[in-house]
Chains A and B, each alone.
Chain A
Amino acid sequence: MKLKVYADRMSQPSRAILIFCKVNGIDFEEIKVELSKRQHLSPEFRAINPLGQVPAIVDGRFKLFESHAILIYLASAFPGVADHWYPADLSRRARIHSVLDWHHQNLRRGAAGFVLNTVLAPLLGLPLNQQAAAEAEKILISSLTKLENIWLKGNGKYLLGGLRPSIADLSLVCEIMQLELLNGKDRDRILGPHKKVLQWIESTRNATRPHFDEVHKILYMLKTKLSEQQSNQADSVMESRIRTPLTSKM
Chain B
Amino acid sequence: MMMEKLKVYADRMSQPSRAVLIFCRLNGIGFVEIKVDISKGHHLSSEFTEVNPLQKVPAIVHGSFNLSESHAILVYLNSAFPGIADHWYPSDIFRRAKINSVMDWHHSNLRNGAVSYVINTVLGPATGRTLNPKTAAEAEKVLFSSLSNLEDIWLYGDGRFLLGGSQPSIADLSMVCELMQLEVLDEKDRSRILSPYKKVLQWIDDTRASTNPHFEEVHNILYRAKKKFEQQCSRIAETQTKPSDKIGGHSKM
Contact = CB atoms under 8 A, between A and B. Distances in A.
Whether both chains belong to one complex is answered with: yes
B53 A64 contact: no
A69 B76 contact: no
B151 to A, nearest CB: 12
Nearest to A53: B105
Q: Which of A73, A94, A108, A146 gathers the greatest number of chain B CB atoms within 10 Å?
A: A94
Interface stretch (A31-39, A98-106, A203-211): A98-106
Interface string B23-65: 0000000000000000000000000000001100000000001
Given A50-B153, A76-B93, A97-B69, A90 B104 contact: no
B180 interface: no
B107 to A, nearest CB: 4
Contact of A66 (B53, B54, B75, B105): B105
Contact of A98 (B72, B80, B100, B152): B72
Interface in A62-99: 62, 64-70, 72-73, 76-77, 90-91, 94-95, 97-98
Contact of B112 (A90, A105, A149): A105
Interface of A: 50-51, 62, 64-70, 72-73, 76-77, 90-91, 94-95, 97-98, 100-102, 104-105, 108-109, 146, 149-150
A64 B98 contact: yes
Query: Is chain B's binding surface mostly helix, strand, loop or mixed?
Result: helix
B80 A90 contact: yes
Nearest to A90: B79
Contact of A105 (B68, B72, B108): B108
A74 to B, nearest CB: 9
Interface string B69-107: 111110110011000000000000110011011011101
Contact of B94 (A50, A62, A146): A62
A62 B69 CA distance: 28
A117 to B, nearest CB: 14
List the 5 closest pairs (A to B, CB-CB), nearest first: A104-B107, A97-B72, A69-B100, A98-B72, A101-B69
B111 interface: yes
A72 B69 contact: no
Given A104-B107, A104-B108, A109-B108, A94 B67 contact: yes
Contacts of B105: 51, 66
The interface size bin for chain B is 20 to 34
A97 B76 contact: yes
B108 A98 contact: no
Contacts of B101: 64-66, 69
Interface string B103-134: 11101100110000000000000000000000
Contacts of A65: 101
B220 interface: no
Contacts of A105: 107-108, 111-112
A39 to B, nearest CB: 20
Nearest to A108: B108
Contacts of B75: 94, 97
Contacts of B152: 50
B163 to A, nearest CB: 11
A50 B151 CA distance: 12
B149 A66 contact: no
Given A51-B149, A94-B72, A69 B107 contact: no
Contacts of A94: 65, 67, 72-73, 75-76
A90 B68 CA distance: 15
6 contacts: A50-B152, A69-B98, A91-B76, A94-B67, A95-B67, A97-B76
Q: Which of A62, A66, A109, A146 gathers the greatest number of chain B CB atoms within 10 Å?
A: A66
Nearest to B97: A73
A65 B103 CA distance: 11
Contacts of A67: 104
Contacts of A70: 97
Given A97-B76, A105-B112, A108-B108, A91 B71 contact: no
A4 B69 CA distance: 31
Nearest to A76: B93
Contacts of A108: 108
